[in-house]
């Protein structure tokens, strides 16, 4: 699928509320580093909704999504989001 810049605004507007809901869910359910099992499952479940992605769970705290398309070439996207423990 090819997206033209002129279409980008409508794509962003049509998905904005859903993306905000995902962000709020992730921020309301923090997990410590190397313990992100629920977060990883949420990301996995969310990514499996998108056509053109092969999604797997290489480890209990990771998600790997491979973009399948007509053109060859690397597409890399990474994310690191963990909560930090607080000592009291």
Range of the domain at 28: 8-67
Residue 83 lies in a domain: no
Q: What is the pLDDT of residues 32-63, one digit of tens each?
A: 888 899 999 999 999 999 888 889 999 999 89
Q: Return the closest-CA partner of residue 43 out of 59, 28, 65, 58.
A: 65
In a domain? residue 79: no
Q: Could you tell me if residue 43 is inside a domain?
A: yes
In a domain, 38, yes or no: yes
SS3 81: coil
DSSP 49: T
Q: Which two tokens stand for residue 13?
A: 């507007």
What predicted TM-score, i.e. pTM, was given to this entire model? 0.75
Over its C-alpha atoms, the chain yields an Rg (Å, rounded) of 16
**How confident is residue 75, by pLDDT bands cut at 50, 70 and 90?**
low
Q: At 51, is the secondary structure helix, strand, or coil?
A: coil
Give the number of domains in the chain. Answer: 1
């Amino acid at each position: 699928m090819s997206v033209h810049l002129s279409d980008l605004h409508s794509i962003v507007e049509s998905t904005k509320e859903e993306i905000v809901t995902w962000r709020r869910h992730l921020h309301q359910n923090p997990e410590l580093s190397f313990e992100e099992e629920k977060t990883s499952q949420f990301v996995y479940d969310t990514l499996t909704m998108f056509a053109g992605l092969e999604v797997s769970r290489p480890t209990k705290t990771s998600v790997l999504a491979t973009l399948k398309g007509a053109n060859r070439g690397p597409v890399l996207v990474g994310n690191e989001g963990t909560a930090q423990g607080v000592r009291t």
